[in-house]
Homo-oligomer: A and B are copies of this chain.
Amino acid sequence: MKLSVAGFRFAGISSGIKTSGRPDLALLAADADIPVAAVFTRNRIKGAPVTLSQERAKAGLARAVVVNSGNANSCTGKPGLEDAQRITRGVARGLQADERRVLAASTGIIGVRLPLDNILERVDELCTEARPDGFSDFATAILTSDRGPKVAYAEVGLGRTRIRLLGCAKGAAMVAPNMATTLAFIGTDAAVDGRWMRGVLREEVELTFNDASVDGDTSTNDSLFLFASGRAANKPLDGGPHGRAFRSALRDVLDDLASQIVTNGIGATRTVTIEVAGATDVKTARLVARRIGSSVMVKTALAGANPDWGRILSVVGNTGIDLDADRIDLHIGGVHLVKGGVSAGGDSEARAAAAMAKETFTIRLHLHAGHAEGRHLTCDLTSEYATITAEQRP
C-alpha cells in the first residue's frame, strides 16, 4: 500500500548532487497555499535554505517545499542564498505558484556550492513528476548516510471526520537536542487554524525531537515542516477535544520519527531511553537526562552492554545541579543497580549487563529531590560510528 494524504503530491529524483547517482532532489507540493508551521535549528550558523525558509514561513502559508540531499548549502555566503532562491523560483514557475510560498531545505556537506545548473535543469521534471502516491520517492530522496527512509503515519477520528498525518525524516549524525534536529516533513489533511498549529508544533517538538540525540552536535540545517491541506474538511482545529486528539496524533508521529532517527544513528546498535524522576523541576530533569544521553563514556558503555554505573553518576554530578548523592537510585533495564547512592550489590550488575544486551532498554534515575520528570532518547556510540565519521564527508 502506498501512503498518501489528501491534498499533497510528492516527488523524488536524481539531479547529480550525489556522485552516487542516488535520488537527491525532492518536492512536497500542495494544490494551493495552505497553513504551514516550521521549526528551525538554533545554531547561530544557518544554512542558506534555513535563512530563506525561516523568513518565508513567517507568512504562515506555503505551497511547497523543495529539498535536496548531499549538500547542505551552508557556509556558502550570499551566493549560496541566491542559489536557494533560484531553485525555489524554478519550482514556483513549475507549480505556477508564488515564489514566496515555496520553502527549501538542504542536508549534506557544509561549505560547498550546489551544482545549480544540474538542479535547475531538473526542476520542471520534479514538478511534473509530483504525484499523490510519490511519498516514498520523497522520503528516499531526502536521505544522506541514513540506513533507510524514516516514515510515520497516524489517523485519528474527530467526530465523524477522520484526519491523517503522514511524515518522514532524515538524520544520521549531527543530531542533538536543540530544535528540530535533522530534516522532517509532515503533511496532514486536517483543516487547522494556522496560528494554533504553529504553537502546537513548537510545544510538541520540544518534548519529542528536542529530547533525542545521536551525537550531541546540532546541525546548521535542521528544519521541520508541518503542512495542513484542510482536505478532511473538518471544522478548523484551534483547541478543544478535537485539537487535543490532533495534538496527540502529531506527538505520536514526531515521537516515531525521532525514535527512528536515533535507532538509525550512524553505527548505532541500541536505542536507550533515559528517564529522570524526582527532580525539582522539569528543566532540571530534562537537562540531566540529556547530559547522560550525550556523555561519550556513557554511550560507549551502552555499546558494550557495560553496567559501569559510576559513569552515569559521574555525569549527574557534573551537571552542577543541587544534589543529594546519598539519595540517588538507578535502574537499568528494570534492574536496581544503585540504592541510596551506592551499589545495590548482589548480582545486580550481572543482571543489568544481561538487560543491556537488548536492542532497547531504559535507564531510570531517581534523584529524590522533587517530583518533576524528564527523558531523553539516545543511541550507543560504537567503534563503527567512529570509523564511519572519521572518513565521512556527507
Contact = CB atoms under 8 A, between A and B. Distances in A.
Interface of A: 42-46, 72, 74-77, 80, 109-112, 173-174, 176, 178, 215-220, 295-297, 300-301, 303-304, 306, 308-311, 313-323, 325-326, 338, 340-343, 381-387, 389-393
A111 B215 contact: no
Contact of A174 (B45, B110, B219, B314): B314
B310 A110 contact: yes
Given A217-B296, A301-B390, A315-B217, A310 B109 contact: yes
15 contacts: A43-B318, A44-B321, A45-B341, A72-B310, A75-B341, A77-B341, A110-B309, A110-B314, A217-B296, A218-B314, A300-B385, A301-B389, A304-B391, A383-B387, A383-B390
Contact of A385 (B80, B176, B386): B386
Copies of chain A in the complex: 2
B111 A343 contact: yes
Contacts of A318: 42-44, 176, 178, 217-218
Given A220-B314, A295-B217, A310-B111, A386 B383 contact: yes
A332 to B, nearest CB: 13
A111 to B, nearest CB: 5
B317 A220 contact: yes
A178 B112 CA distance: 36
A219 B319 CA distance: 12
Contact of A390 (B46, B109, B219, B300): B300
Given A44-B321, A383-B387, A387-B383, A220 B342 contact: no
A310 to B, nearest CB: 2
Contacts of A219: 314
B220 A111 contact: no
